[in-house]
Every structure is written in C-alpha cells, then in structure tokens.
Structure 1
Amino acid sequence: MAIPVGSKAPDFTLKTKTAAGLADVTLSKNFGVKNTVLLFFPLAFTGVCTQEMCDITAGLNAYQSLNADVIAVSVDSPFAQEAWAQKEKIGITLASDLNKKTAEAYGVLLPDLIGLGSVSARAAFVIDKNGIVQYSEQTPTVKDLPNFAAIKAVLEKLK
C-alpha cells in the first residue's frame, strides 16, 4: 500500500547515469526549493513504461512551469536506464533503486511480476517543498498509467 497523503516523504539517495558518469539523485535536495513528482515504474525497455516516460519527457515543460522536478525510479541498474533513455530519447531523471529499498519505503514494491521477481509498482507521488506527500497513487495494475491530470492539479495548488 502506497504511503498516504500527509506523510513525510522518505528521503533517498539513488544513482543515475549521466554523460559524466554515475551521479547521486537525492530527494531532499529539492526541499525548500521546488516540488517533486516521483514516479515509480516496473522495468525499462517495456511498452507501458516507455510510453509513460516518453509522454512525461514530451510534457516536461508543463511540470517545470509548475515548479516541479520529475524523478522516475525503477529497480533497473543505472546503466540499463541510461541505454533505455538514449534509445527512447527520455529526458527526465531516471534513478536506480537496484536494492529496492526506496520502493519498499514508499510501499510500492510488488513481490513478483510475471515470475521475474520483485519490482516497483507503477505509482506516482507529489512531494511538496517541505517534503510532505501531497498526492499518492498506486495504479490498479502495472499496465495502468497514473492520473497525470490530477498530479498537475495538485502541483497547480502548490505553485
């Protein structure tokens, strides 16, 4: 069960792969500065995940204009995420939760996906500048996308 609205967002530092090498992605760096849209997705190189990340990339300016940073998290390695991002032209920050601790902290770790083992569910959170969860959604299935209109409406109120 995804952590509820009103909860203090669990902080994390995860790895991302950039042209310069591995870098840290730390949620609390946004605290006091901007809101964060935190998206969990099951696996890179899959159809629904690719659609979601490409759609978010195409609409990234809308999130930036709402003073929000978008971070997407999966259990893939940062190297697999980078290869996927380059192949699909994904332009948002992808963070690797290889040890699955962040998905677990947010209550969105699925025990097994089609026999592949545990992965993160598809989920979305809006975390305000104070580190408080203002929106929390775990989709009914991994094939369902989050309600991005509701996410943007919450961000609009936080602006």
Structure 2
Amino acid sequence: MKRSMPRFCLSLSLSLVVALIAASPAFASLKIGTRAPDFTVPAARAGQVFTFSLAEALQRGPVVVYFYPAAFTSGCTVEAHDFAEAMNDFEALGATVIGVSHDAIDTLSKFSVSECRGKFPVAADVDQAVMKNYDSVLIRNPLLAERTSYVIAPDGTILAVYSNSDPSEHVGKMLAALKAWKAKSPVP
C-alpha cells in the first residue's frame, strides 16, 4: 500500500500538470520590438475581395493584425463586432485593422459584411503561412488560429501583443497600445 501511494500521487500530479498545460492559452512568441513578418493575402471588406499587403498598409500608419479561430463562431463574431464598433477610434489613431483566419475567401466575404459590418477587412490565410509566421496557430487544434492580436508600428516593429482566447479585451488592449505609442510619437 505504501508503494502504490507515491505512484498514485505522482500519477495524479503528472495528470494535473498535463491538464493545466492543455487548458492554458498559448502565448505568442513574437516579441515586442521585433520585426513583424510581412505578408500579402486575399482579403474581403464589405463583401469586396481584394489583396491586402501589410507593407502597403504600414505606409499609411500602424496596423492591428488580429488572428481569430473561425468566422461565424460565437467568440469570433463577438470580436468582429467589437472591432467594428471601435473602428472610429482606430482610424482616429491612424491605424488599419485586419482580421486573419484560415477561412476561405468566400466565407470571409460574407463575414466581412454581416459581422465586421463592412468597417474593416478580414484575410484568408488558407495555407496558414501568416498564422505560422506570427506563431498564432492554435495548439489544441492546429487548423485554427490562436486568438492573438498585434499592433505593428509603421516601421514594421511589433508594438504590442495580446493572446487570450477570451475576445472581450483584445480591442481595448490594442487601442491602449496605440494610444501609448501615439503619445510617444513625434508630432508630424
């Protein structure tokens, strides 16, 4: 009995550690101050399909790139609504917003109308190249994106990173990072 007790405790402890790791969100490995990987992808805004280029968007100002698991799911719909409602604030800070998922462009064209309300584009990363470059692949389901948001400065460096499966704070965190950056930036 004494010999089985330590094994049981060890087994229980190991099970607990594995469960905690599996339940905890993955954190983006791209660090603040590093160069953001460039990308060009098919995107849709207000149902219109076009090609989105990060390099071109950065010429106009900072860019918020947010990754989300899948269009038309509950959390992703909430997050799209939140970004749509805050677009005036993002635009006032000179920022472009783009959502990125693995969804096909046809699906995203519909999502851009109904859930993004035509206010910002969503991009199709069907081959997951962008998700992988930004370390935003969901560990427990590698076909999906981890809910991670980045603010990228016009010079291409990462200003802020926020990774959390709960969509409720992504918009606020990205706006706060942009405001802090704007406060430190020289006036044009």
**Alignment TM class, shorter chain as reference:** 0.7 to 0.9
Cα deviation for residue 146 of structure 1 reads 4.0
Change (3 A) 1:107 1:20: closer
Cα deviation for residue 18 of structure 1 reads 5.3
Question: In the alignment, which residue of structure 1 is the partner of 2:114?
Answer: 87
Percent of residue pairs bearing the same amino acid type: 25
Cα deviation for residue 154 of structure 1 reads 1.6
Contact 1:57 1:91 in 2 (8 A): yes
For 2:173, the aligned partner's letter is A
Alignment RMSD (CA, Å): 1.9
Task: Determine whether 1:41 maps to 2:68.
Answer: yes
Query: How many residues are matched?
Result: 154
Cα deviation for residue 55 of structure 1 reads 1.3
TM-score, structure 1 normalization: 0.87
Q: What are the superposed Cα offsets for residues 44-76 of structure 1, whole Å, 9 maximum, x if unpaired?
A: 010110011011101100000011000100000
Contact 1:122 1:145 in 2 (8 A): no
Question: In the alignment, which residue of structure 1 is the partner of 2:180?
Answer: 157
SS of residue paired to 1:70: strand
For 1:109, the aligned partner's letter is V
Cα deviation for residue 155 of structure 1 reads 0.7
SS of residue paired to 1:103: helix
User: Structure 1: any 5+ residue segments left out of the alignment?
Assistant: none
Cα deviation for residue 30 of structure 1 reads 2.4
Distance 1:41 1:19 in 2: 18
Larger Rg, first or second structure (1 or 2): 2
Within 5 Å, give how 1:1-150 maps onto structure 2: 1-2=27-28, 3-17=30-44, 22-88=49-115, 89-113=117-141, 118-139=143-164, 142-150=165-173
SS of residue paired to 1:130: coil
Contact 2:45 2:118 in 1 (8 A): no
Give the strand-richer structure, 1 or 2: 1
Cα deviation for residue 144 of structure 1 reads 4.3
TM-score, structure 2 normalization: 0.75
Cα deviation for residue 111 of structure 1 reads 4.1
Distance 1:59 1:21 in 2: 21
Which range moved further: 12-21 or 55-64?
A: 12-21
SS of residue paired to 2:31: coil
SS of residue paired to 1:154: helix
